[in-house]
Amino acid sequence: MGQRPILTRLKNISSAACILFIATLLAGTPAFGQEADEGLLIEEMFEQDKFLDEAAEGGIIVNQTMTSTGFRFYQNFLDCWREQKRSLDGNLVIYERPSARWGDLVWIEYKQKILLRFFLNSRSDIKSTGENAARYVADRLLDLEIERMFTDQDIDTDEL
């Protein structure tokens, strides 16, 4: 007897979910007799796929900041990185740990390796800090690539 009301509720929920799904599908399509503006649809698809195109090129830059100061640093870092037109072999992650006493501890990792670590103060010049960090990380990644070319590929770094 206790199962019957639960099954009835599930049927009601599933039918409501189906109706909601169909309504969202119909809302996204043009009404009968109208044609969709193909230029807008293609432009929207291009904007949505921009992130996937960056990931397909080799890697993405992940934002793991917590404060507005960290987010502004991330934006400036990303702007400078895109201006340099650098590609990544893996993902680059920008972390932040806020501290009221010392400022925000920011570090940038690439393949679980810390490339740069520093304290970021909200009163510091965040734009130049982001640009300098992007240039430093790009140079550091080139150094790592050169180092990888001259090391033995048979033994991985965790096997030494």
| Model pLDDT for residues 63-78, shown as the tens digit of each residue | 999 999 999 999 999 9
Verdict on whether the full-model pTM lies above 0.75? no
At the topology level of CATH, where does 59-150 sit?
A: Double Stranded RNA Binding Domain (3.30.160)
Using one digit for the tens of pLDDT, what is the confidence trace for 84-138? Answer: 887 788 899 999 999 888 889 999 999 899 999 999 988 889 999 999 999 999 9
pLDDT of residue 34 exceeding 50: no
DSSP string, 92-119: EEEEEE--TTT-EEEEEEETTEEEEEEE
pLDDT computed for residue 147 by the predictor: 87
The whole-angstrom separation of Cα 18 and Cα 21 is: 5
Q: What percent of the chain is predicted at pLDDT more than 90? A: 39
